[in-house]
Amino acid sequence: MQCAVIEFARTELGLTDAHSAEFDTETPHPVIDLMPEQKDIEDMGGTMRLGAYPCVLKKDSLAYSIYGTDKISERHRHRYEFNNEYREKFEEKGMKISGTSPDDKLVEIVEIPDHPFFIGVQFHPEFKSRLEHSHPIFHNFVKAALAYNAKQKTSEA
């Protein structure tokens, strides 16, 4: 999600120097920034957002259709988040914020509704995926890719 947000800021918002403050501390557009509660910590140690956290999904979203519910819990491991100062600009240009923390302060999932399957997540779905039981996002991505491939083959015929 973080890299997708940086690229969207550069190409769709015209913020060619947008970046993550983790990669470029001097960026004038830190669309991904250190979480506010992390800014005064000098000895980072084990202070990152770590473990399972709840997320609320918008009902008219790809995320909701994937999970089939409006409340999920996913595992995290990070210090940097979507910078809320840019939320309105992203949504105006077509990136939908479809999942947030229950208090709506942290962006957890972004989507581009006009795309066949574009979803970016702040959490780590691979932490809950198993060979015999893939994470719903991975499972639905593969389904969407197969459907897209079948559609391409049909249009070529």
| 36-40, 49-53, 130-134: the lowest-pLDDT one | 36-40
pLDDT tens per residue, range 56-95: 999 999 999 999 999 999 988 767 899 999 999 999 999 9
Instruction: Please state, in angstroms and rounded to a whole number, the distance separating the CA atoms of residues 111 and 97.
Output: 6
For the chain, the domains span: 2-37+46-156
Instruction: Please state, in angstroms and rounded to a whole number, the distance separating the CA atoms of residues 108 and 72.
Output: 11
Structure-block tokens of residue 54: 């709840």
Instruction: Please state, in angstroms and rounded to a whole number, the distance separating the CA atoms of residues 12 and 10.
Output: 6
> Helix or strand or coil: residue 81?
strand
The answer regarding whether domain 2-37+46-156 maps to CATH 3.30.310.50 reads no
> In degrees, to the nearest 5, what angle opens at C-alpha 125 toward C-alphas 135 and 110?
110
Instruction: Please state, in angstroms and rounded to a whole number, the distance separating the CA atoms of residues 51 and 23.
Output: 23
- pLDDT confidence bin for 128, thresholds 50/70/90: confident
pTM: 0.89
Instruction: Please state, in angstroms and rounded to a whole number, the distance separating the CA atoms of residues 147 and 54.
Output: 31
Higher pLDDT residue, 79 or 143? 143
